[in-house]
Amino acid sequence: MSVVDQYIELATFHNGDIPLYKQTKTTGEERTRTDMIVKVCTKCGIAWEPPNSGVHGTTDYYLDYPTIGKKREDCPKCKKKK
C-alpha cells in the first residue's frame, strides 16, 4: 500500500479530519523530546502527539512516524468514537 493509499484509508477512518504534515528540519534535542511524547493508537495505528499547551491546543497525527518502541494508547479521535 502506498503512502497516499494509507493516508486516504486513515483519513476515511477519521472522517477526513487528519491533517497531513510536511516534515520539517529539527534539532537533535527536538527530535528526542518529540520521540518521547509521540504515542501510537491501539485502534487505528496512527502515531499521534498530545497537544502542547505552550504552542497549540490540537493533537498532531503522523502517518509515517516509526512506531517501534512507542507507547500505545488510544488517540483522542478513537476515544470519542467509544
CA dihedral 25, 58, 32, 69 (to 10 degrees): -120
The answer on pLDDT for 82 being more than 80 is no
Distance CA 34, CA 43 (A): 21
End-to-end CA distance of the chain: 28
The pLDDT tens digits for 40-76 are 999 999 999 888 766 667 888 888 888 888 999 999 9
pLDDT for the residue 68? 87
pLDDT for the residue 62? 87
pTM for this entry: 0.60
What does the mean pLDDT of the chain come to? 75
Q: What does residue 12 show for φ and ψ, rounded to 5 degrees?
A: -65, -40
